[in-house]
Each structure stands twice: as C-alpha cells, then as structure tokens.
Structure 1
C-alpha cells in the first residue's frame, strides 16, 4: 500500500512540476482590473500570482499597476529575474490596458485597489519611490531582492497605500 501511495505522490509531483512552456502559458486578462476605456478614474492596483513552475507551490510574484486619470493604459511595474541574466535591469515597466494578466499560467489575485482622488494623490508618491528603488538592477530568489521586495519597498516608502503582502511573498522582508 505504501508503494502505491509513493507512486501516486511521485506522479502528482512530476505532473505539478511539468508546467507548460513559459512561451505558451496563458497571459490573458483575469478580468479583475478596471477597464481603462470605461473607468476614467486614477487607479492603483497590486497583484500577486503563483510564481512560475514549482516555485508557485511556495511563493508568489507580485506587481504594481497604476493608471492616471483619463489614461488609456496602465503602467505596470515589476521585478523579473531573467532580465538581469540578459544584462537588463530587473525592474521593468510597460504600458498596457491589461494589468491583470495571468503570470505565465497562474491567475492573479488583487491585493490592493485604490481609485479616484486618493489614487491621484498617491501616484506621484509611488512614481517618486519607484525612481529611488535601490535594487532596480539586482535579483536574488532568496532572501531577495526579488519581485516581492519591490512592492514591499514601495509600501514602506508610501505607507498611505496600506499594502500588506501575503505570507508567501518570499523576499518581501528584504526591504525592511
């Protein structure tokens, strides 16, 4: 009986680790972000999704999206380790109408959403903090700095966000 349980457990582990190729994994919208064509308010959103592959069993990847009032797109800010290996900064930003994309197959969860006047007031503070982020060119899975260190550091710089990251945001404590 034990042998059968070990075989089943091994099969489950192998199946869970054999995630789709990152090139073909879903990057579709989760449908949880305000549509910038409809919602003209300023918006700040923070998302978390299971990290890619086996790392998702233990950790999440987090990112910040901001949209100024009447903007047609969000600016998404995130830290990505493979960029450093390519000689690029770990911190990247890009414009998109879809800030809530699946993180390579993992559906994101919304950790924070601020809209309207409060978002308009906080966006300049967030933007200034992003410019000061001290580890923009660094990435270390553990203990950090990594993708979770970034929003944790922004939260320390802009406490009015009242952002709390989940316990499995490994690396968020590096910012303390």
Structure 2
C-alpha cells in the first residue's frame, strides 16, 4: 500500500498571482507531484471550501484588506504548515508601495482622478482596505518562506519535494529575494 498523499491548499491574497504561475511552471514535474500530493483547495482547482485539516498551506500576496486577513487566519487555523510564497507575502513588496501614502489619496487617484466614466470609490462587495499593507507573517505565524518575484519553479518544487520526503526544507539553498 502506498503512503497517503500530502494535502496542499493554496491561495493568493493581494498580489499578481505570478507565484501561482511559477507553481504551474513546474510543468511535467506537476505530474510527478500529483502522485504524492493532493491539491485540496486552490485557485488552480475547482474546490471552493478550505478543508478542516490540511497538511501544507501556501499563501502568496500581502495582507491589504479584511478579506486577505480572513484568508490568512483561516489558512493558519486549518494548515499544519504554512508557507509564504514570494516577495509580496514576505515583505509586502509591490502592494506595500502604497504604504507611504494616505489610503484616501490612493483610492481617490485609482478610482476618481484617473477615471473618465462614473468615477467612484467602490464600497459594495469589496473588502475594506487596511491603511497599511503587511506581510503574511505580520498577522499569522509562518513556517517556511520562499522568496522571489516570483519564486522560481525549481524552488517551489524543492520545498514541496522536501516536505513530501519528510524533511525540513531550507529554501535559502535555492532562492534569493527578488529573483
């Protein structure tokens, strides 16, 4: 009988989803990984509910809104191990470029000053933005950090493979910030 598969959940918060694209860039190695892990929740699959217990959670993006905070807390609650994937998750990166400015000024610039038709700041169905963007470890405990913008597929594969093999990954062997 084969070993049980590791369950994995992924989500992107405030970011560009480039880290998930790097995940897909593992190409044919995804077929090998599929033999050893189950993606139980992700924008890459159709599942809409985070399971009660997940072995590995992977979050990309920063904490910019109530919605991001909710996702991060849910992942921390339901995932045995939590990975921050990419520079936005680790430092705030591009989304945090708005931090030096007043939130009202940022919203006004994006939704009023640069819009020709129906300029208005959205309020219905949109999570409330925080005044400051934070990295994921600024709101929940994170176990593994994989830097890069986006991280290379090789780095993601290395970390997942180490976890599958029951080893503690050291992403610094295969990564550096901004690359």
Give the TM-score taking structure 2 as reference length. Answer: 0.26
Give the TM-score taking structure 1 as reference length. Answer: 0.26
